[in-house]
Amino acid sequence: MLKLTGISKGFAGVQALSGINFDVRAGEIHALVGENGAGKSTTIKIIAGALQPDAGEIAFDGKVVSWSGPADAKAAGIHVIYQEFVLFPHLTVAENIFLGHERRGRFGLIDHDRTRRDAADLLQRLGVAIDPDKIVSELTVADQQMVEISKALVHKVKLLILDEPTAVISGREADLLFARLAALKAEGVAIVYVSHRLEEIFQIADRVTVFKDGAHVATTDIGDVNRERLISLMVGRDLKDIFPPKRGTGGGKVTLKAENVSVAGRVRNASLELRAGEITALAGMVGAGRTEFAMAIFGGLPASSGTVWIDGEQVGMLSPAQSIRRGMGFVTEDRKGQGLAMLLDVAANVTAADLDAVTRRGVIDRRRENQIAREEIEKYRIACRGPSTPVATMSGGNQQKVIVARWARTSRKVLVLDEPTRGVDVGAKTEIYRIMRQLADDGIALLMISSELPEVVGMADRVVVMREGVVSGELAGAAINEAAIMRLATQHPSAAGSHP
């Protein structure tokens, strides 16, 4: 159905793809896996015509093709469902489905009745009960995803690409999705399925292709691999070389205790304890309320209830400024939106949480600031020209190190890291893991929010799992494994997985 041969693509200085091969057959579900930065997204965009390859050949339906834009690929029957839905929240389901392909009647005006009828037909074909007149913003995320898939059916879809479809939906909804995908597959649609969740890949895929650092590593029938093999293919080395040795639980005193923290609509009566010298992971599905819980503890979100103790002292719910003064830090998930002062330089970002250290009588001591920045650049091996490099020009991994350096300076007691390795290459990842372990060894209590199960299993001394806004369980030491975490995260046996 689709065949990529020797596809290469580079962006300003970075080779995103180097000569990859990839093929999909009609009527199969082909899983595409790899770490962040492996080149999955770039590949999808090239297949979808959103990017043009620098070299290589795309063949679709037996013919060599060259898309000049997404419209070409769409016309040929390729449809992509990105993680971020492309839906207009204030329009109806039917209007969204036929957006850009409105059913027209007399005088070229939109025929609303026909739009509604055709939408109902499509939704029925997909086997979902969604009212075509409903406003999209009123639907659940899972139903919105179904609307996205319906959009693909407006045209005769031959190749459907799904980018991390289960990142936003729960286990039960995922099973419904898988059933729909199986039905499409039976109709002869080729499906490319991108996911981090190895369990579900073993559940639905026929073949799997592994990318790493922009190169094709392997393509195999799903029956010919097992979990461990797949992970080591993705990572390119054994797990023990990536994660620093754990310290193991026991010993550390409780540094921070949060009890019955609630955030309106997101978190209900969640509690946890963080111990000095330990890395505690906060695991769960996207949308389970992990970030909100941690943010409320730090003071970045208003909590409707809850109490925090630091070193046994009851401090109630703090503001970010108070938390920082008490030795807490928060490395946010969204570097660009919340973490960095993107327009400022490395020095200003490193000292941003601790302006006291560089302020003398209200004036910033730029020399002192540069000196601090140079020390941190060396300590964390941040690749940049110097303290005055604008952070906006740096790579994701180096930006992340700037943020970690900032908070490591001020966090005497507690450091929260929300998805600390998202969008970071394997080399920087390994370094960030080592920095985290080092900080823990220095006696700081770390809380790591992560959606990547191998990371949780590899790093955490203790795991607190959340599901739909509540803490659903806690694991420690040898009890930490992916299946156990998934079980607590979904409470849904089939997603917890009994695969090899």
Of the candidate residues 383, 479, 493, 499, the single one contacting other proteins (CB under 8 A) = 383
Phi and psi for 102 in degrees, rounded to 5? -55, 140
Stretch that binds other proteins, among 104-112, 136-144, 204-212, 322-330 (CB under 8 A): 322-330
Total number of residues that touch other proteins (CB under 8 A): 50
Q: Does 16 bind other proteins (CB under 8 A)?
A: no
106-114, 265-273, 284-292, 337-345 -> range binding other proteins (CB under 8 A): 337-345
* Span interacting with other proteins, options 219-227, 267-275, 422-430, 463-471, rule CB under 8 A: 422-430
SS (H, E, C) 302-368: CCCEEEEEECCEEEECCCHHHHHHCCEEEECCCHHHHHCCCCCEHHHHHCCCCHHHHEECCEECHHH
Rounded CA Rg of the chain: 24
Is residue 97 involved in binding other proteins (CB under 8 A)? no
- 49 is a contact residue toward other proteins (CB under 8 A): no
- The answer to whether residue 341 forms part of the interface with other proteins (CB under 8 A) is yes
Q: Of 384 and 465, which CB lies nearer to other proteins in the complex structure?
A: 384
Measured distance CA(64)–CA(3) in Å, rounded: 9
E-state strands within 92-187: 159-163
DSSP state of 77: T
Q: How far apart are CA 169 and CA 300, in angstroms?
A: 25
Told to check if 264 binds other proteins by CB under 8 A, we report no
Give the residue with the Cβ less far from other proteins, 252 or 300: 300
3-state SS of 28-58?
A: CEEEEECCCCCCHHHHHHHHCCCCCCCEEEE
Q: Does 100 bind other proteins (CB under 8 A)?
A: no
DSSP 8-state assignment for residue 125:
H
- Contact partners, residue 121, CB within 8 Å, separation at least 6: none
C-beta of 219 vs 338, nearer to other proteins = 338
The least CB distance from residue 23 to other proteins, in Å, is 34
Q: Among the candidate windows 177-185, 224-232, 333-341, 470-478, which touches other proteins by CB under 8 A?
A: 333-341
User: Would you report the helix, strand and coil content of the chain in percent, each value rounded to 5?
Assistant: 40, 25, 35
Q: Return d(Cα 456, Cα 460) in angstroms, integer.
A: 5
Nearer to other proteins by Cβ, of 5 and 371: the residue is 371
Mark residues 388-407: x for contact with other proteins by CB under 8 A, - for none. Answer: -x---xxx------------
| Residue 47 or 235 with smaller CB distance to other proteins | 235
237 binds other proteins per the rule CB under 8 A = no
Nearer to other proteins, 135 or 364 (CB): 364
Q: Does 245 bind other proteins (CB under 8 A)?
A: no
Contact criterion met (CB below 8 Å) for 301 and 291 = no
Instruction: Give 180's contacts (C-beta < 8 A, 6+ positions apart).
Output: 126, 127, 128, 146, 149
| Site of tokens 């030795």 | 327
Nearest distance, CB of residue 277 and other proteins, angstroms: 14
Choose between 258 and 301: whose C-beta lies nearer to other proteins: 301
Residues within the interface to other proteins (CB under 8 A): 12-13, 298, 300, 319-325, 330, 332, 337-344, 348, 352-353, 355, 359, 362-364, 366, 379-381, 383-385, 389, 393-395, 408, 427-428, 430-431, 434-435, 438-439, 442
